[in-house]
């Protein structure tokens, strides 16, 4: 097959203006938010109908051209990085909310719908879409499905997978498949194909239409800030809250570096002397939340916090979250470059893991800031370095690797929500056996016999593209998005 | 004679030595664990026990053959529970069978079903390979999520050996509100009002087999708030549709236990689960009324449970509505009734995990 043949076929599917081939047009698609990697695709197509997506996939399959589905390109693990000479299928124009049924609490959406737009559409009915990645202003449901994305408020009601009821998808060989339904219990008759598809990192095919479930907006929130004179103590407090039998909707931790950076940029009113700051939020029916709140205060007092603040108004709550959600980007701004990991440890080992990370930080002589989803043990260490110094990137990468090994040795995982993508594929072997990986490969080939969907991602591989500098997502620099 | 391996190695050997096997946990779900052909029974009952339970972590790992009863008791000692409310606990159902049949009970309404709590599994596939997926922590995005895939797989893709779950603190107190309606439409109107309100409920069941339509709504939480919440719910529901009678059941444990054991369905030989959308309740009920049977709808109308003797007419009916049912009790022939979705993808998974079709057709 020649490039010419491919293009002439492509033009039969898409009007010319929906095909991008010139260098300047391709530039924005060369990386995702893991800016260390860059690859130029052969072309980018901008489908406006489901049929165009299906036809594009079928063409790729027939002509053996690898493709990458792309939402908003905010993947932090190189998931939406193009494949050399491959096709990028950008789904942002498939952005319709097809149906919203408040009584059944569901929405049917196209893959390019932005996460937060579902909540915007649902809120007139008192409903919302629960998973809230910090990138929710721009990231798409298609991308969320690929990575089973989470957010600060996924502790009580789960991640993306727990909110998807049905999917129609085009598999990598061009077959269109439909599974799940509008029922809350519609998956899991004959096996749960929705559960399998969500988190498959775009390796099986492209989601075309998705049924998500909506939740009623909680009546009441109680948001508590607790300051500790040492980070390990804050980590231990998480275990104590969990063990107390409370079920908060969010539990987040920031360390001193993150607090300072957040204060400088947002002025959230955090206690600046704290070495560890714990944010706990309860939500639900008023009476129940008030009762739980009394209980929570006792647990937090007993955990050795030297200062406790409770949001007294909606404005104060919003400010606390603004500081938290902006902390990541704020830390990014105080360093020329950084790498971020998202390993997971069992919650009762949080104190231990944080102490070890701070020891490693000293040993490597690199600053590490911690801002993370503590309630489910999902660390987000930001390793700060200056890429202009020779060897600094390699040192940061080595430290990041040690943190991932630490997570594995404590019985955790190499990724809680950012996915394996390009970045962590070489750590898969540390978590899974050869047989586990072999079975996963076979499953992948069952849906994608030619390995054309997201080729080179997720599975360990010898050659990796050269690492360049790590830095902020361009939209982050502009302050359009922030991360957790 | 049943095959009863006691560990993974024996299990692998059994799978490699046999041509046709039917997996059995506690044998409580007769339609799924009784042989209809020349298969041998592969009984997982001897691979049992809790492997790891860390109360402060709110997770546990157990072997597939572990009776739910054992797990429920261990969790209760620490005030914890399985929020998906698995069926047939006291009848001897196992955790492996619960995952395979995807039998979440009425309590799944509050926080989700089996799929929402399973974190990791190890299984032996049809080629004798011992495979792990997922992990032991509450959040994990590495690798394909085979743990969820196995939920509802009725033993057709491999033998689950062990699995890890997250659990939640059990509400300290419960109360149930029993609402009686003259017609189903009134009940559904009340339920739709409830599900779009911020009022939190643990179970919402509809019973259509009594003289009138009965809706049972369970609330759980801290004692100090519970009575007030029930009162509020009662007023809310009374305002939203015409109700005939309201009763508050303070001591509701037995009531829900009997639902868990399917006592209401015990005078029928077949028992079928049909996931439906709440909007389909009235239509389905109208059609089923014409067939001698008993129906219950749980999770606010998201699951229909059907107790029936002769289910020969059901397939056509479910096909019409593009629904699929799973026969849990009753004759052991084809377990799926109606339209199974994603069959092509299931076949492909079958090719990978059980290419010699040892574990039976989908
Ligand atoms: C500032 C910032 C903050 C972030 N915060 C969080 C956070 O809190 N939690 C979190 O989990 N993640 C977070 N992320 C990561 C990222 O936003 C998520 O992974 C998100 O789901 C990606 O969505 P996207 O639309 O940008 O997808 P893309 O980056 O475009 O694509 C991601 C992957 O999805 C695949 N894909 C896209 N569409 C489809 C489809 N329709 N069908 C199948 N596969 C598809 C792509 O091939 C790719 O592999 C953050 C990222 C940034 C930059």
pLDDT confidence tier of residue A476, bands split at 50, 70 and 90: low
Q: Which of A111, A203, A234 is nearest to A428 (CA)?
A: A203
Q: Chain B residues with CB inside 8 Å of A186's CB?
A: 275, 277, 302
Exposure on the CB side of residue B202, measured as CA atoms within 13 A: 23
Query: Which fold does the domain A335-477 belong to in CATH?
Result: Alpha-Beta Plaits (3.30.70)
Pick out chain B residues at pLDDT < 70.
Answer: 1
pLDDT confidence tier of residue A477, bands split at 50, 70 and 90: low
- Per-residue confidence (pLDDT) for residue A465, from 0 to 100: 40
Query: Which fold does the domain A97-216 belong to in CATH?
Result: 3.30.465
Q: What is the CATH number that goes with domain A3-90?
A: 3.30.43.10
Q: Whose CA is nearest to atom 40 of ligand 1?
A: A142
- Cα–Cα distances (Å) from B30 to B24, B34, B93, B101, in that order, read 9, 6, 11, 11
- Per-residue confidence (pLDDT) for residue A480, from 0 to 100: 47
For chain A, how far is it from start to end, CA to CA, in angstroms? 44
- Per-residue confidence (pLDDT) for residue B355, from 0 to 100: 98
For chain B, how far is it from start to end, CA to CA, in angstroms? 24
| Atom of ligand 1 at shortest range from CA of A329 | 1
- Per-residue confidence (pLDDT) for residue B3, from 0 to 100: 95
Q: Sketch the domain layout of chain A as residue ranges.
A: 3-90, 97-216, 220-331, 335-477
Q: What is the pLDDT of residues B130-142, one digit of tens each?
A: 999 999 999 999 9
For residue B336, give both structure tokens: 């799926």
Q: What is the pLDDT of residues A225-265, one digit of tens each?
A: 999 999 989 999 998 998 888 999 999 999 999 999 999 88
Q: Which of A362, A403, A413 is nearest to A382 (CA)?
A: A403
Q: Which of B55, B52, B67, B88 is nearest to B169 (CA)?
A: B55
- Per-residue confidence (pLDDT) for residue B199, from 0 to 100: 96
- Per-residue confidence (pLDDT) for residue A152, from 0 to 100: 87
Rounded to two decimals, the pTM is: 0.95
Question: Is a pLDDT exceeding 50 seen at residue A467?
Answer: no
Question: Is a pLDDT exceeding 90 seen at residue A362?
Answer: yes
* Average pLDDT rounded to a whole number, residues A153-168: 95
Output phi, psi for A6, to 5 deg. Answer: -60, -45
For residue A300, give both structure tokens: 């937090």
State whether A288 and B192 contact (CB < 8 Å).
Answer: no
Over pLDDT 90: what percentage of chain B?
Answer: 94
Q: What domains are there in chain B, each with its CATH number?
A: 8-169 (3.30.465.10), 173-260 (3.30.70.260), 263-336 (3.30.70.790)
Q: What is the pLDDT of residues A329-343, one digit of tens each?
A: 888 788 888 888 899
Q: Distance from the CA of A452 to the center of ligand 1, in angstroms?
A: 19
Cα–Cα distance measured from residue A420 to residue A148, given in angstroms and rounded to the nearest whole number = 11
* Average pLDDT rounded to a whole number, residues A187-215: 97
State whether B229 and A104 contact (CB < 8 Å).
Answer: no
Q: Chain A residues with CB inside 8 Å of B105's CB?
A: none
For residue A95, give both structure tokens: 């952005």
pLDDT confidence tier of residue A270, bands split at 50, 70 and 90: very high
| Atom of ligand 1 at shortest range from CA of A80 | 48
Q: How much is the mean pLDDT over chain A?
A: 91
- Output the DSSP codes for B153-194: -TTSSEEEEEEEEE-EEPPSEEEEEEEEESSHHHHHHHHHHH
Between vectors from CA A21 to CA A19 and to CA A26, what angle results, nearest 5°? 105
Fold match flag (A97-216 vs A220-331): no
* Average pLDDT rounded to a whole number, residues A96-120: 98
- Per-residue confidence (pLDDT) for residue A49, from 0 to 100: 98
Cα–Cα distance measured from residue B62 to residue B67, given in angstroms and rounded to the nearest whole number = 10
State whether A416 and B141 contact (CB < 8 Å).
Answer: yes
State whether B352 and A187 contact (CB < 8 Å).
Answer: no
- Per-residue confidence (pLDDT) for residue B86, from 0 to 100: 98
**CATH architecture assignment, domain A220-331:** 2-Layer Sandwich (3.30)
Cα–Cα distance measured from residue A263 to residue B348, given in angstroms and rounded to the nearest whole number = 53
Query: Chain B: nearest CA to A441, how far in angstroms?
Result: 10
- Per-residue confidence (pLDDT) for residue A1, from 0 to 100: 60
* Average pLDDT rounded to a whole number, residues A155-173: 96
- Per-residue confidence (pLDDT) for residue A468, from 0 to 100: 38
């Amino acid at each position: 097959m020649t490039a010419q043949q491919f293009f002439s076929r492509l033009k039969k599917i898409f009007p010319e203006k929906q095909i991008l081939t010139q260098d300047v047009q391709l530039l924005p698609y060369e990386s995702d938010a893991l800016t260390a990697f860059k690859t130029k695709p052969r072309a980018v197509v901008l489908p406006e109908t489901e049929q165009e997506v299906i036809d594009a996939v079928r063409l790729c399959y027939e002509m053996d051209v690898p493709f990458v589905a792309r939402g908003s390109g905010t993947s932090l693990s190189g998931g939406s990085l193009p494949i050399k000479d491959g096709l990028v299928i950008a789904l942002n124009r498939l952005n319709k909310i097809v149906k919203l049924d408040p009584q059944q609490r569901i929405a049917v959406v196209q893959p390019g719908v932005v996460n937060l737009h579902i909540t915007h559409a649902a809120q007139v009915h008192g409903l919302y879409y629960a998973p809230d990645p910090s990138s929710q202003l721009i990231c798409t449901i298609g991308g969320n499905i690929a990575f089973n994305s989470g957010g600060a408020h996924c502790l009580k009601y789960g991640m993306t997978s727990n909110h998807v009821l049905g999917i129609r998808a085009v598999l990598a060989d061009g077959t269109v498949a439909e599974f799940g339904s509008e029922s809350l219990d519609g998956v899991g008759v004959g096996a749960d194909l929705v559960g399998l598809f969500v988190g498959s990192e775009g390796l099986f095919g492209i989601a075309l239409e998705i049924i998500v479930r909506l939740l009623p907006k909680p009546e009441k929130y109680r948001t508590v800030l607790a300051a500790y004179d040492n980070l390990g103590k804050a980590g231990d407090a998480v275990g104590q809250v969990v063990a107390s039998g409370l079920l908060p909707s969010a539990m987040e931790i920031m360390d001193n570096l993150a607090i300072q950076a957040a204060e400088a940029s947002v002025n959230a009113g955090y206690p600046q002397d704290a070495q560890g700051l714990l944010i706990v939020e309860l939500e639900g029916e008023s009476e129940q939340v008030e009762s739980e709140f009394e209980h929570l205060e006792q647990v937090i007092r007993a955990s050795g916090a030297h200062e406790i603040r409770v949001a007294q108004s909606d404005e104060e709550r919003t400010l606390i979250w603004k500081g938290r959600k902006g902390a990541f980007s704020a830390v990014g701004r105080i360093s020329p470059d950084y790498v971020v990991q998202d390993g997971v440890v069992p919650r009762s080992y949080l104190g231990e893991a944080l102490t070890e990370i701070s020891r490693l930080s000293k040993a490597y002589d690199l600053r590490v800031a911690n801002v993370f989803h503590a309630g489910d043990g999902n660390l987000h260490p930001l390793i700060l370095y200056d890429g202009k110094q020779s060897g600094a990137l390699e040192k940061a990468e080595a430290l990041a690797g040690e943190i991932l090994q630490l997570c594995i040795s404590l019985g955790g995982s190499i990724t809680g929500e950012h996915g394996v993508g390009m970045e962590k594929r070489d750590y898969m072997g540390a978590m899974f056996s050869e047989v586990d990986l072999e079975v996963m490969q076979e499953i992948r080939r069952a849906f994608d016999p030619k390995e054309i969907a997201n080729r080179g991602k997720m599975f360990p591989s010898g050659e990796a593209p050269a690492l360049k500098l790590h830095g902020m997502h361009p939209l982050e620099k502009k302050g359009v998005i922030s991360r957790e | 004679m049943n095959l009863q391996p006691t560990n993974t190695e024996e299990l692998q050997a059994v799978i490699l030595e046999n041509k046709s096997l039917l997996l059995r946990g506690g044998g409580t779900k007769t339609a799924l664990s009784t042989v209809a052909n020349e298969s041998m029974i592969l009984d997982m009952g001897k691979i049992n026990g809790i492997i790891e339970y860390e109360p402060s972590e709110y997770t546990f790992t157990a072997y597939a053959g572990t009776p739910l009863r054992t797990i429920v008791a261990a969790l209760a000692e620490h005030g914890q529970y399985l929020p998906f409310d698995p069926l047939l606990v006291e009848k001897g159902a196992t955790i492996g069978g619960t995952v395979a049949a995807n039998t979440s009970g009425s309590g799944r309404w509050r926080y989700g079903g089996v799929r929402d709590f399973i974190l990791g599994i190890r299984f032996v596939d049809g080629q004798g390979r011992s495979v792990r997926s997922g992990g032991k922590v509450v959040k994990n995005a590495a690798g394909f999520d085979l743990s969820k895939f196995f939920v509802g797989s009725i033993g057709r893709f491999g033998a689950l050996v062990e699995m890890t779950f997250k659990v939640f603190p059990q509400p300290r107190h419960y109360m149930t509100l029993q609402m009686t309606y003259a017609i189903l439409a009134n009940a559904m109107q009340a339920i739709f009002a409830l599900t779009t309100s911020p009022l939190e409920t643990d179970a919402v069941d509809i019973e259509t087999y009594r003289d009138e339509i009965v809706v049972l709504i369970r609330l759980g939480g801290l004692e100090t708030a519970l009575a007030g919440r029930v009162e509020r719910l009662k007023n809310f529901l009374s305002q939203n549709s015409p109700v005939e009678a309201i009763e508050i059941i303070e001591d509701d444990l037995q009531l829900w236990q009997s639902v868990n054991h399917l006592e209401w369905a015990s005078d029928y030989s077949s028992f079928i689960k049909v996931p439906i959308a709440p909007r389909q309740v009235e239509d389905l009920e109208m059609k089923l009324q014409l067939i001698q049977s008993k129906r219950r709808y749980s999770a606010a109308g998201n699951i229909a449970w059907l107790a029936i003797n002769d289910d020969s007419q059901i397939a056509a009916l479910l096909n019409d509505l593009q629904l699929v049912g799973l026969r849990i009790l009753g004759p052991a022939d084809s377990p799926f009734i109606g339209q199974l979705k994603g069959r092509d993808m299931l076949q492909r998974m079958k090719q990978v995990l059980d290419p010699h079709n040892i574990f039976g057709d989908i």
